[in-house]
Amino acid sequence: MGMTTLRIKKILFPLLFTAFLMPLLCSTAFASEGGVFTPRLWVWLFAQLHLYFAAFILSVPVFVLILELTGVIRKDKRFDRVAREFLAISVVTHIVTVILGVIFAAVVFSLYSNLSGYMYKAFSPTVKLYAAIIIIDIALLYLYYLLWSRLGSGRGKLLHLGIGLLLNLSGIAIMFIANAWTTFMMAPTGVDASGVVVDLWQAINNPLWHPMNLHRFVANIAFGGAIVAAYAAYRFLSAAREEERARYDWMGYIAAVVSILALLPLPFAGYWLTSEIYSYSQQMGITLMGGVFGWMFIAQAAVIGTLFLGANYYLWCGFERAKGGAVYRPYVKYIAIVLALCFLVWFTPHTPHLSSLELKEIGGRFHPLLAPLGLMPAKNIAVNIMILATFVSFLLFRRAVRSSSVSWAAIGKTIQAGILSAAVLNIIFLGVYYGYFADSVYKITSSIPQVLTTLFALISCSVIEFFIYRGGESVEHKWGGASERSQYALIVLAVSFTWLMGLMGFIRSAIRQHWHVYTVVRDVSADAFTPTISYAAKVVSIITLIFLAIIIVIFRISHLRRAGEDR
Amino acid sequence: MGAYRVILLVTLGVYLLLKGIGFVYGVALPSSVVSMYVFFTFLVTVLIISVTDKGALSLTTPIIEFLYKEEKKKLRKVVFVVLPFVLAFIAYAFTKPSYEEPFTLRVVHPAPPRIVNAYDRNIELEKIKNPIRELTGDAYEEAVHDGGEIYFKNCFFCHGAKLDGKGHFAKGLNPAPLPFTGKDTIAQLEESYVFWRVVKGGEGLPEESAPWMSVMPVWEESLKEEEVWKVVTFIYEYTGNEPRRWEK
């Protein structure tokens, strides 16, 4: 009875917290004019919630398939078991996603009938295709899950992997179709002068479609990984048995690694999307980065910084897993200092918050010393080095439990250090020289060699690392010995990802300002204005809390089901 | 050294360093930025210390001892009596009325409209080109020279003889006139954007983040279109800046 009460409290607490936070929305002056629950708020709420779950269920099968394949190749049953447990969470989440999707569609069609009518008319063939693929996707998911044991070996396993591949392809197709609608609303192409879609393929293949496809695909994996890692952390923290702690320590490790590896290229995908938005419309680009949403980007920078710090903190705590890790402990402070410096540059605003006295002293809104740090070249330098620093943490984290048997290990590590140092110098040179002392044409394009430098360093160091530790022995260490602090870092990672997705999703959608479909279908409703930063932040935070509350309930269900299966 | 002493020393050190930089440079760093930097330094220091079990213990032990140890009873009583007063003072300091004018998160570069109606026609900003850039040799030099004359007859009173935003009237204006020197103002903008700002002035600023309160005149009323392009070209040439471009 006592335990049940405790469990109920755990579930109810976030819900009650959300209920208490909801009145915050009422405090904003304009919310009272049209009531708190305006049509826009309903659409915003269900669109974001549906998107969170959709992102999660599309990402989980990607790494379930990778884990299952790894298990087959390495003949390690642990991968198979953890992959199945990931999928079990996804199965429960699928039902919630479908329910939220139906509610979202109903809300949009009833509250914004003109827009939905226009979109349906323009994209009706794709809507039918979308519905058909969803049915196929659900069927494949259940086949993949239910046949896991029956197709567990030999040719059956190959067939099972084939089903997993098809499931992923259908998931990607669903996302691509939905992305076509969303990006068309931002960058409509294939329309005539009166706004009617005359070329469906052009409307789908608009300038933002592929950047968004890539960005969402990578972000979904990072997000899904973080949520599953948080699930493992939750199970780890509530585990009563040693064996359970060991299992969830390992599961958290796998999910965190997947999430961190996806996090590393994510800023590049985001940069491509933003650059395409600028190319499509200077007005939308300036609104996004320099205009009214500029300060949302400072909030976004703070959350991204938390993500990088959370990920690194988890890795640093992992140095303690084995005795060998103690060698790498002194490096933590240096990596942390590099990360901190980059992060400070990353979130220094171009036009800082100034009191009127400071404004008079400076003589304008730009501080002569700090203003250059507020520009994109400085941010590019910072984010590239942050990625490399996180990569170094990851290498040391792996080395803590590995020993090398090759004679040239020291030379290999020196070469890696050389590559990383040269990469950092090159990134700084490219950013400073082309960003501040060369023609603006090169300023924009110099970000490409910066990204290539980072990618080169990541790939070449990974290859060297692989050969150094190939055939080496695993240093003795015990799963289940992770510190509780590291598990909280995983939970922070999941919360930050969720928050970040909500914030960025709002910015991306809101830069259309008073347009439903940019320059084609105008929003003539009372909610057509751009909300204040404070209101938007509150709405996004509340939606994040609701999502996390539902996720906790799903974790509980998965937990109970797993306990039943174990019995 | 105790964990809390390390945190205090590092945080205080960074705070003094930031204040020192402002002092040496002659222009203090904004307090909002300093507080963000100091808070982040504090956070990272706590994280570094708490990575190891020993470090984490050194952070939690003093708190646990303070809350539960018998020897700390007197200190506990003092802290729990004083703490509410400290919090009350902080709350008071935050809520008491201030005579300082409220600060605003002004958007310095508002998004330009797609189409601007100027000189009796609709101008698409994304398509318009600076005609002065098509000139070469002496003709170009002459146009830039003309732009300089127009600047010193009209703009320099606010934007300054060195184009650094420190003209005679600058101290009396809020928002202050924009400097054109440095790499972070006009160097970030396309020429069509600068053209729009000159032609439409403060009155033509969009509603986004209003009220603007800018006294920039609507130069369309007193300068010809060609003269505006000449002065736009001049401010780029004089400051050694290049306008933002997508291709050469």
Q: Is B138 on the interface with A (CB under 8 A)?
A: no
User: Exposure of B180 by Cβ count < 10 A (0-12 exposed, 13-18 middle, 19+ buried)?
Assistant: buried
Q: Is A381 on the interface with B (CB under 8 A)?
A: no
Q: Which of A26-40, A287-301, A475-489 has the lowest mean pLDDT?
A: A26-40
Quick check: is A178 in a domain? yes
Q: Provide the β-strand partners of residue A517.
A: A521
Q: Flag whether pLDDT at A338 surpasses 90.
A: yes
User: What pLDDT is stored for residue A562 in this prediction?
Assistant: 65
For residues B29 and B140, membership in a common domain is answered with no
Quick check: is A59 in a domain? yes
Quick check: is B169 in a domain? yes
Residues of chain A in contact with residue B111, where contact means CB-CB under 8 angstroms, are 283-284, 286-287, 290-292
User: Exposure of A441 by Cβ count < 10 A (0-12 exposed, 13-18 middle, 19+ buried)?
Assistant: middle
Q: Is A390 on the interface with B (CB under 8 A)?
A: no
- Short-list A13, A8, A14, CA closest to A545: A14
Which residues 97-116 of B have a C-beta within 8 angstroms of A? Answer: 100-101, 103, 105-114
Q: Is A375 on the interface with B (CB under 8 A)?
A: yes
User: What pLDDT is stored for residue A218 in this prediction?
Assistant: 93
Q: Structure tokens of A283?
A: 């007005």
Q: Structure tokens of A374?
A: 């507020």
Residues of chain A in contact with residue B57, where contact means CB-CB under 8 angstroms, are none
Q: Flag whether pLDDT at B19 surpasses 80.
A: yes
Q: What is the pTM of this model?
A: 0.82
Quick check: is B102 in a domain? no
State how far residue A440 is from chain B, nearest Cα, in angstroms.
5
Task: Give the residue numbers spanning the domain of A104.
Answer: 35-267+490-559
Instruction: Kindly report the CATH number assigned to the domain that includes residue B228.
Output: 1.10.760.10
Q: Flag whether pLDDT at A468 surpasses 80.
A: yes
Cβ separation of B176 and A363 shorter than 8 Å? yes
Which residues 98-117 of A have a C-beta within 8 angstroms of B? Answer: none
Q: Flag whether pLDDT at B183 surpasses 80.
A: no
| Partner-chain residue, chosen from A353, A437, A443, that has the shortest CB–CB distance to B30 | A353
User: What pLDDT is stored for residue A266 in this prediction?
Assistant: 87
Q: Flag whether pLDDT at A1 surpasses 60.
A: no
Quick check: is A292 in a domain? no
Q: Is B177:B167 a contact under the CB 8 Å cutoff? A: yes
Among B95, B130, B154, residue at a domain's last position: B95
- Name the range with the highest mean pLDDT among A229-233, A238-242, A366-370: A229-233
Quick check: is B124 in a domain? yes
What's the rounded Cα separation, in Å, for the pair A52 and A312?
24
Q: Is A356 on the interface with B (CB under 8 A)?
A: yes
For residues B74 and B149, membership in a common domain is answered with no
pLDDT band at A564 (very low <50, low <70, confident <90, very high): low
Q: Flag whether pLDDT at B209 surpasses 70.
A: no
User: What pLDDT is stored for residue A442 in this prediction?
Assistant: 72
User: What pLDDT is stored for residue A153 in this prediction?
Assistant: 79
Q: Flag whether pLDDT at A25 surpasses 90.
A: no
For residues B121 and B173, membership in a common domain is answered with yes
| Partner-chain residue, chosen from B103, B109, B178, that has the shortest CB–CB distance to A353 | B103
Q: Is A470 on the interface with B (CB under 8 A)?
A: no
What string of H, E and C letters represents the secondary structure of A494-556?
A: HHHHHHHHHHHHHHHHHCCCCEEECCCEECCCCCCCCCCHHHHHHHHHHHHHHHHHHHHHHHH
Cβ separation of A292 and B100 shorter than 8 Å? no
Considering chain A, what percentage of its residues have pLDDT values greater than 70?
90
Quick check: is B245 in a domain? no
Cβ separation of A375 and B184 shorter than 8 Å? yes
Instruction: Give chain B's domain count.
Output: 2
Quick check: is A143 in a domain? yes
User: What pLDDT is stored for residue B234 in this prediction?
Assistant: 96
> Residue A434 has what DSSP assignment?
I
Quick check: is B18 in a domain? yes
Instruction: Give chain A's domain count.
Output: 1
For residues B83 and B37, membership in a common domain is answered with yes
Please report, as a single letter, which amino acid is at residue A418. G
User: What pLDDT is stored for residue A265 in this prediction?
Assistant: 85
User: What pLDDT is stored for residue A30 in this prediction?
Assistant: 44
Average pLDDT, chain B: 88
Cβ separation of A371 and B184 shorter than 8 Å? yes
State how far residue B61 is from chain A, nearest Cα, in angstroms.
15
Q: Which of A416-420, B43-47, B178-182 has the lowest mean pLDDT?
A: B178-182
For residues B148 and B50, membership in a common domain is answered with no
pLDDT band at A3 (very low <50, low <70, confident <90, very high): very low
Rg (CA), chain B: 28
Chain A residue with minimum CA distance to B52: A317
Q: Which of A29-33, A311-315, B165-169, B202-206 has the lowest mean pLDDT?
A: A29-33
What's the rounded Cα separation, in Å, for the pair A377 and A445?
11
Helix (H, G, I), strand (E, B) or coil at A470: coil
More confident residue, A133 or A63: A133
For residues B88 and B194, membership in a common domain is answered with no
Q: Is B236:B186 a contact under the CB 8 Å cutoff? A: yes
Query: Distance from first CA to last CA of chain B, Å, rounded?
Result: 59
How many beta-carbon pairs below 8 A join chains A and B? Answer: 176
Q: Flag whether pLDDT at A558 surpasses 80.
A: no
Quick check: is B154 in a domain? yes
Q: Which of A23-27, A563-567, B56-60 has the lowest mean pLDDT?
A: A23-27
User: A338-342: long-range contacts (C-beta < 8 A, 24 or more apart)?
Assistant: A338/A385, A338/A389, A339/A308, A339/A309, A339/A312, A339/A386, A339/A389, A339/A390, A339/B44, A340/B40, A340/B41, A340/B44, A342/A381, A342/A382, A342/A383, A342/A385, A342/A386, A342/A389
For residues B131 and B84, membership in a common domain is answered with no
For residues B85 and B42, membership in a common domain is answered with yes
User: What pLDDT is stored for residue A321 in this prediction?
Assistant: 77
Quick check: is B232 in a domain? yes
Q: Is B182 on the interface with A (CB under 8 A)?
A: yes
- Short-list A159, A157, A155, A213, CA closest to A182: A213
Cβ separation of B107 and A375 shorter than 8 Å? no
For residues B157 and B228, membership in a common domain is answered with yes
Task: Give the residue numbers spanning the domain of B8.
Answer: 3-95
Q: Flag whether pLDDT at A499 surpasses 70.
A: yes
What's the rounded Cα separation, in Å, for the pair B58 and B53?
9
User: What pLDDT is stored for residue B153 in this prediction?
Assistant: 95
Q: Per-residue pLDDT tens for B110-137?
A: 778 878 899 999 998 878 899 999 999 9
Torsion of CA B30, B36, B39, B41, to 10 degrees: -90
Quick check: is B247 in a domain? no
| Partner-chain residue, chosen from A352, A437, A519, that has the shortest CB–CB distance to B30 | A352
CA distances from residue A348 to A312, A355, A369, B178 in whole angstroms, order as listed = 21, 16, 11, 20
User: What pLDDT is stored for residue A530 in this prediction?
Assistant: 84
Q: Flag whether pLDDT at B105 surpasses 70.
A: no
- Short-list B128, B131, B108, CA closest to B192: B128
Q: Which of A362-376, A455-469, A530-544 has the lowest mean pLDDT?
A: A362-376
Q: Is A462:A403 a contact under the CB 8 Å cutoff? A: no
Q: Is A200 on the interface with B (CB under 8 A)?
A: no
Quick check: is A114 in a domain? yes
Cβ separation of B126 and A357 shorter than 8 Å? no
For residues B145 and B214, membership in a common domain is answered with yes
Q: Which of A138-147, B97-106, B160-169, B202-211 has the lowest mean pLDDT?
A: B97-106
User: What pLDDT is stored for residue A285 in this prediction?
Assistant: 82
Q: Structure tokens of A357?
A: 């006295």
User: What pLDDT is stored for residue A92 in this prediction?
Assistant: 83
What's the rounded Cα separation, in Å, for the pair B54 and A62?
39
Cβ separation of B48 and A336 shorter than 8 Å? yes
Helix orientation angle between B73-95 and B53-68, rounded to the nearest 10 degrees: 100
pLDDT band at A372 (very low <50, low <70, confident <90, very high): confident
Q: Is A405:A473 a contact under the CB 8 Å cutoff? A: yes
User: What pLDDT is stored for residue A32 in this prediction?
Assistant: 45
Quick check: is A256 in a domain? yes
| Partner-chain residue, chosen from A284, A357, A370, that has the shortest CB–CB distance to B29 | A370
For residues B146 and B213, membership in a common domain is answered with yes
Which residues 203-222 of A have a C-beta within 8 angstroms of B? Answer: none
Q: Is B76 on the interface with A (CB under 8 A)?
A: no
State how far residue A355 is from chain B, nearest Cα, in angstroms.
6
For residues B74 and B139, membership in a common domain is answered with no
Q: Per-residue pLDDT tens for B65-84?
A: 888 898 889 999 999 899 99
Residues of chain A in contact with residue B30, where contact means CB-CB under 8 angstroms, are 352-354, 358, 362, 367, 370
Q: Flag whether pLDDT at A300 surpasses 90.
A: no
